[in-house]
Amino acid sequence: MNELTPAEERVIVHKGTEPPYSGEYDDFFKDGTYVCRRCNAPLYVSTAKFHSGCGWPSFTKPIEPAHVNELQDVTHGMVRTEVRSKYGDSHLGHVFPDGPRDRGGLRYCINGASLRFVPRDKMQAEGYGDYLDQVEDVR
């Protein structure tokens, strides 16, 4: 497991939420893979990312459904679906049914503090070469 800053720990371990529009990946659209900041498991690829306007990075689907767990979250007086990294047991964010209809209709609303971006040109060297074909897909 990777060392976390206090802000990352607040989100990842204690189910916190970073303020909207404050994370480094909200308005970030480069080619590559987003991995769990805690355990480095591959979570999302840039071709699944879209601009939702909600203030957090949004994705249409995980890179591998088996890499995330979805759990019912009834905190804050509402029912939501929490998304966690399976291997790092990291709180990532929540999934909502208001994503792009033509891409499956889901919006994985993810805290940037839970993610680490691996640029496309470093994916092979960092062990994520199996996902290069997903990064090269047409958006």
Strand order in the sheet with 107-110: 49-50, 58-59, 107-110, 91-96, 80-85, 68-73
What is the average pLDDT score of the chain? 94
Average pLDDT over residues 33-59: 96
Average pLDDT over residues 50-73: 95
Catalytic residue among 36, 39, 54, 109: 109
* Contact assessment for residue 107 and residue 99, using Cβ atoms and an 8 Å cutoff: yes
Whole-number percent of the chain with pLDDT over 70: 98
CATH of range 6-135; options 3.40.50.10420, 3.30.70.141, 3.40.50.2300, 2.170.150.20: 2.170.150.20
Q: Determine whether 39 is an active site residue.
A: no
Whole-prediction pTM: 0.93
